[in-house]
Structure formats: structure tokens, C-alpha cells
Amino acid sequence: MEALPPEQQYPALLTDVYNNGAKKQNIQETEDRAVFVRTLRFKSRDGYDFPLTPIRRLPYYRAAGELLWMLRGDTTLAGLHDYGVRWWDNYATPEIQARYNLPEGDLGRVYGAQIRRFNAGSSESIDQLLVVQQSLKEHPEWRRHLITLWNPLDATHVYYAPCLTELKFFSAGNKLSLAVTQRSADVPGGVPFDTFEMGLFLLMMAQATHLQADELVHILEDTHIYNEQLTQVETLMTREIRPLPRVQLQPSTVEFTDIRQFLDLKPEEIFTVENYNPHPTLRIPVSSR
């Protein structure tokens, strides 16, 4: 996939999994088609060819809101609703919260908790976001610029265990790249959102550390299409390939020196999107865990 031009990679991934995926059962007790380990790679060109797929219209400001929610350390539905995000609602029903002994409207130790309060409840919790930002500023040559989202102690105590498991920054010269590892990749449903959000995260971290965003590498491990998504995937596969848009940070962020300066802004105050010419919205059933 990564050898293809950027606008062709995601459509090719859909076709690959549809045609070559092994049929298997999953945790939802339904069937899917899955392949193991695929990679998407996007080279930054001043915001051009940004990984916001036009194969179907994505609500990119709401997707950015989900990213901000994670980076703020929030784990509540109310925090998501502030950004108009409703796609987590089914993961915090009264039945689920009773099963996991969670307060009403709380998703447990999901992304936000791991990023900002890793190992909370132990003798020392870690704000991984700030640790990585500081290490990039003070020791850019290090190989430790890593955020881990998978804590085995927490993964069995939440209904929705993190699909993204590792975020690894790489600094060389004045350039910053990000490799994202995803253990569970719902290709038609979640992957377009995940790739876009991580591309935006790279822009924000590069700005906060006064580096230049370079490459986003998205490593997909269990890469699948659910059977209930096949009809929609067949529709997507008929759509013409269109150029990727340009995404840039707002000029008002140019002097930011701390990624936390982004976190109280509205998504539209953070970035702009140009030349986005998507195909129509297509609702995709999502059941990934």
C-alpha cells in the first residue's frame, strides 16, 4: 500500500482486505475478513496530500474533537458530546457501566487516561503527552519519544480497549515523523478517522516543538472488514479516486510552544481544510472492539 501514491493507498487497502481477507470469527461473535499487517504512509508537503480521505465525506471537525478529547485526558461521554461526537455512546450503556463498575457516562481507562495518567493508582502515574513533548525539545535525537496506549492492567477492565496501541515520534534534523501502531483496524469504519486524527496530532506536536512535520506511518495489524460492512465497501470500491486535500494549522497557532495550548481551542480554531472534494457521506456499521 505504502508504495502507491497517497490518494490511492486507502482505496487499495479496502480492495485488498475485501479480496484477500481470511474469513474468521471475532469478539462480537460475527464474521469478518481480515489480513495481518498493512501500512499506510503519507509524506507531508506543506499540508498537501493530507490523509483525509475523499472516498466518503468525513466530519473532520468532529474527528478533531475526538483527538482533543483524548489529548485532554477526558474519558467521559459528556466531553465527547461537547465536540458533537456520538459514536462512543454505545460503549457506555447502563449495562456496560454496571458490568465494569464505571460511573454513569464514563468510559473507563481509555485513550485519555493512558495518554495523560498512565498507571494512575500506582505509586507513580505518567503524563505521557508532556513527557514526549519535553523529550522532543530537550533530546530530539532520543529513541524514547513513545506514547503507549495499551496497559494490560486496564485493558480487561474496559469495554472498549484501545485500538491504537503505540505512537512513536522520530526526529531527524528539523523534521518530525510519527509511526502509529493499531492492533485492531476497522478499515471502512474507524481507519479513515484514525489516520486523519494522527496526521493532525503530528502537525500539532511539530508546531509545539518547533519542528517540521514530515511523515505519518500508520501500521495496521489485525486489518479487517466486518461482514455487515460488505455492501458499503462494495459501494466505496466503485468510487473514483480523488486527490487528497490540504490541511494546515491556523496562523494563530504559529507561536505555540506547548501542545496544551491547542487543547482549549475549538477544532475550527486549530486548522483549515482546502480542496476537499469528497464523495457523499456513507454510513458504515461500526462494531470494533
Half-sphere exposure of 34 (CA within 13 A, CB side): 20
The answer to whether 277 and 243 have CB atoms below 8 angstroms apart is yes
The residues pairing with 35 across neighbouring beta strands, listed in sequence order, are: 223
Dist CA 233 CA 237 (whole Å): 6
Q: Of the residues 68, 163, 185, 204, which is catalytic? A: 163
Q: How is residue 261 written as a grid cell?
A: 495550548
Whether 161 is catalytic is no
Name 150's Cβ contacts closer than 8 Å, sequence gap at least 6.
114, 161, 162, 165, 166, 183
- Kindly report the number of other CB atoms within 10 A of residue 117's CB atom: 16
Dist CA 8 CA 288 (whole Å): 24
Q: Which residues of 232-257 are buried (b: 16+ CB within 10 A; e: fewer)?
A: bbeebeebeebebbbbebeeebeebe
Catalytic residues: 163
